[in-house]
A and B are shown apart, each in its own frame.
Chain A
């Protein structure tokens, strides 16, 4: 049984992990996709569907945490123009 607290903490973990991507485009996509993904499933009432969505989210969290480690192992040598503009 998945409760509201678990869902919110999963969202927070996903957002926190996605923030670590060194690439500007993938970082922004991770944030947007996580928020939209949780928003789309906000009104699910069927328990099995909620469980499925939660399991899917956990799987994605594992993927992001693994991939971020590899991406950070090869840090980029140049900054994206969008990141420079924000300075």
Chain B
């Protein structure tokens, strides 16, 4: 017994890695990037997927999803306990109470966008809403309308639905965008044909944060009498949205982008003038026949409360987020050069800041920023190694597109977090640039684009 203990301690001491050795040679920039000094309280360290972080990272990824607001959580709890009836049951109190809760939520959502409650359809999220509108409208009018117009920077679900339509025989025009991310209105006007069935332009882009000129696009669509669909998942509760001013016929909304629950969304379908669409989910005819299926009452209630809160707090949040965005941008620009903001800085939602750092390798930058939860490219495209298609559509160079980072600021972000994020980013970028031979050449004044690389 004792000899076993002796041998095991001996083995452990002999095979313990020498700390000094692990810091000396770093064969790649990425491993150098991840080596960092441990914090004093390292007992709390989290080890996951081969990465060791000393605590929960600061959350700066508000565009992919947002934390649940405690007031929304409170409303959902009460609803989960008591509103368990099926809102479509007409015969007993449980159904009536659940239906009341759903109708209250419907009014709250409708007020946020300036619509009537009868025009709101609840479904499982903005992706389902986008699919239903794009496919449903074109399938309904498939005899007369065979053309769809959308942009190159749309969300993946819209682009994928359009690709599905192309396979069915429809024609799709993907409008290019300018270098600041905005749609060219003249190109849109020229692209509209007599058989155009739908124009789909997202209000606020999830990757670069630019706000499209919605009123002008709505006016063009009204002139040519083409239904206008917008994916407003990132826009509601953040910029003022009005379906009358924008003249939209369809709008997709998502719950988990406005501090509400995941798994719920809504679709606005205009009633005057009436636009028709074929439902994607067939069944008992719930939600005006456009989306059959029992509604998840507590999710709907949570979404409604989140919308009401967003309407009340929009001005206050906007001031706070604008302040933090300026702090972030100025903080980074003060200490680093070669920082490019992707997308127009004027026509932009303040909470989304997409920065590219020149002369830095993207993967290493992200791996070194493990204490800040940010994303590069959207969650949908981060699995592949290609740079995001949105940045490619903006005309950003490949190397700059690879080093893009999207900082998402939200209602709950604090000034200290922004300062820490600035500090970590600057430190990481400086460390990587120091190791980069390209940066040395740039500092000496050599123009990288005109170098003749010799063949080996």
Q: Which residues of A contact B (CB under 8 A)?
A: 21, 23, 25-26, 28-29, 32-33, 36, 60, 63-64, 66-67, 70-71, 78-85, 87
Contacts and interface: CB of A to CB of B under 8 A. Distances in A.
A29 B411 contact: yes
Contact of A70 (B53, B67, B77, B316): B77
A86 B54 CA distance: 13
Interface stretch (B38-46, B219-227, B244-252, B284-292): B38-46
B119 interface: no
A86 to B, nearest CB: 9
B46 A78 contact: yes
Contacts of A87: 40-41
> SS class of chain A's interface: helix, strand, loop or mixed?
helix
Given A25-B59, A79-B55, 19 more contacts: A23-B67, A25-B414, A25-B417, A26-B67, A28-B412, A29-B412, A33-B316, A63-B70, A64-B70, A78-B55, A80-B55, A81-B55, A81-B56, A81-B58, A82-B414, A84-B44, A84-B54, A84-B55, A85-B39
Contacts of B53: 81
A62 to B, nearest CB: 9
Which interface class (under 10, 10 to 19, 20 to 34, 35 or more) fits B?
20 to 34
A87 B43 CA distance: 13
Contacts of B413: 25
B55 A83 contact: yes
Interface string B40-68: 11001010000001111111000000010
Contacts of A66: 74
Given A67-B70, A70-B77, A71-B70, A25 B54 contact: no
A48 B316 CA distance: 23
A82 B46 CA distance: 15
B144 interface: no
Nearest to B57: A81
B168 interface: no
